[in-house]
Structure 1
């Protein structure tokens, strides 16, 4: 009985942090900072694991650096993760909703609770998922592993001035229009708010990218307090730590490469020029939109989003 209780309490202590929001808002940076905690592990955008596995069915394909995944996960584990995270029918003749209900009823739903397997193999009490899009986070929170508190789920909504988000997307995807990206930003904002509001107040936190970049110590102290873990100053310099995350910001990966005296990837240079090659190894607020985003594009953005960006505006230059 005592052993059972000890194991139960150990499971209860395990946490998954879901970072919620839109891309280009600092989600990978926050992910890697938390993943640099002694009890943390950055999963990155693990929502992409099923597609990666479909193209290359091996745990070795999950991360381009190191051998962590193939060292800790078997081929069977990798297949189970791809199925559990895929959100598709396990049996082509049975709707997933029905199969989930039946499997849960008979206690055969381990495949649909992948974060328990991740915790078991990784052996860290804090896993961070920066897949971030609201439909993903909303669906994950419905799994039995969270509903029955086998794992503690926390949601951190990362937000950023929409003008900066727009500019970053335009730089990365110059073929897309301001109107298309503005509608996407607004839709994501509304859907993120819906998911965020559905989470109990003690399990949700909103973090501004600009505050994380300008006051990283104070912001991460707040985040650690929210997660009930001790703040570790060394976690701020995430580039010093080993990470094996699945997909995520190439910009964040560029600083890790810089620390290891490796060249900044060409794909990053194509989008950002020498911005990351020339910057110091430090947390820096990116306000390039002030110089790169024209008044016409800003007007087009506000014509679509109305006043929804007003609370998120960051009008300080640094």
Structure 2
């Protein structure tokens, strides 16, 4: 039996890149961000067992109204017609909410000619414990990236007001994910470092594919030729994934952040950076001075 796969991580850590790479697999289909599982599970009593048309209609309607991102809705990610979604839900009934949701992911994968599905929603890292209980056989891939690069990218995207809040977002999400992941164990939880992915792509992907139980394909490293097939929003934020993998993307912060900015990030998230084997560069005293100065 196939085990659901969830790709998570702090935003701007490389989850989109990994999604596009793995979508070159002949086995795995990963749609856009979903962000509805926990939200709509609150209404599972209303959906019943999905055996009745009105129950299926309510679920589809809620998917159409639920924002996956600021600009997208959850139903659209499946690229299913209303009749296709209705048929998928009817076929799996009677089912609980989680089985019904999985049936839509599965129908979406089958429509793309693939047997398996995964979900790539970075914010699910904040729901890791809940998802692990909702899908007891699910596997989780946590994409990790140096918090200084993430903070820089979050600021560039306009998603955080200052470097400290960006560092705090990274620290909170990654810390939570690693703690829950360690509780899940190696059979269900896998950490993939962005830096390994861009500097040793084939080796990193072969290891990941073995753990996922899918076959590695050289086509994965040609992901950039099909990027626009998988990105339909915020192209300016993902333009780099349309280029071949380049190891220079790792540790860009070393050239782009000031010493004060680095010290501010390391003051907020230094312990976690060190825990994940990212070398700290600011003396402890300088990190304290940067805090006082700000």
Return the TM-score normalized by structure 2: 0.70
1:239, CA displacement in angstroms? 2.7
> Within 2, Cα distance between the matches of 1:283 and 1:21?
19
Equivalent in the alignment of 2:278: 313
1:122 aligns with 2:109: yes
1:163 aligns with 2:127: no
Structure 1 contact 161–312 (Cα < 8 Å) conserved: no
1:121-200 maps to which residues of 2 (within 5 A)?
121-123=108-110, 124-133=114-123, 134-143=125-134, 146-147=135-136, 152-173=137-158, 176-200=161-185
> Within 2, Cα distance between the matches of 1:122 and 1:170?
34
1:22, CA displacement in angstroms? 0.4
1:29 aligns with 2:45: no
1:15, CA displacement in angstroms? 3.6
Structure 2 contact 4–138 (Cα < 8 Å) conserved: yes
1:221, CA displacement in angstroms? 0.3
Which digits, 9 at most, give the CA deviation of each residue in 1:153-172, with x for residues without a partner?
Answer: 21111111111111111212
1:142, CA displacement in angstroms? 2.5
Tell me the SS of whatever aligns to 2:139. strand
Equivalences, count: 240
Q: Which of 21, 44, 51 is 2:67 aligned to?
A: 51
> Within 2, Cα distance between the matches of 1:175 and 1:295?
19
Structure 2 contact 34–68 (Cα < 8 Å) conserved: no
Tell me the SS of whatever aligns to 2:35. helix
Structure 1's 36 and 248: CA in aligned 2 closer, same or farther, altered over 3 A? farther
Q: Which runs of 5+ in 2 are unaligned?
A: 37-62, 281-294
Structure 2 contact 33–68 (Cα < 8 Å) conserved: no
Equivalent in the alignment of 2:283: none
> Within 2, Cα distance between the matches of 1:218 and 1:161?
20
Q: Which of 200, 220, 223 is 1:235 aligned to?
A: 220
1:234, CA displacement in angstroms? 0.8
Structure 1's 250 and 141: CA in aligned 2 closer, same or farther, altered over 3 A? farther
Structure with more relative contact order (C-alpha pairs < 8 Å, separation 6 or more): 1
> Within 1, Cα distance between the matches of 2:168 and 2:73?
36
Task: Tell which deviates more after alignment, 229-238 or 173-182.
Answer: 173-182
1:43, CA displacement in angstroms? 1.5
Structure 1 contact 186–305 (Cα < 8 Å) conserved: yes
Q: What is the Cα-based RMSD across aligned positions, in Å? A: 3.3
> Within 2, Cα distance between the matches of 1:47 and 1:248?
17
Equivalent in the alignment of 2:81: 73
1:20, CA displacement in angstroms? 2.1
1:253-264 maps to which residues of 2 (within 5 A)?
255-256=241-242
Structure 1's 205 and 52: CA in aligned 2 closer, same or farther, altered over 3 A? closer
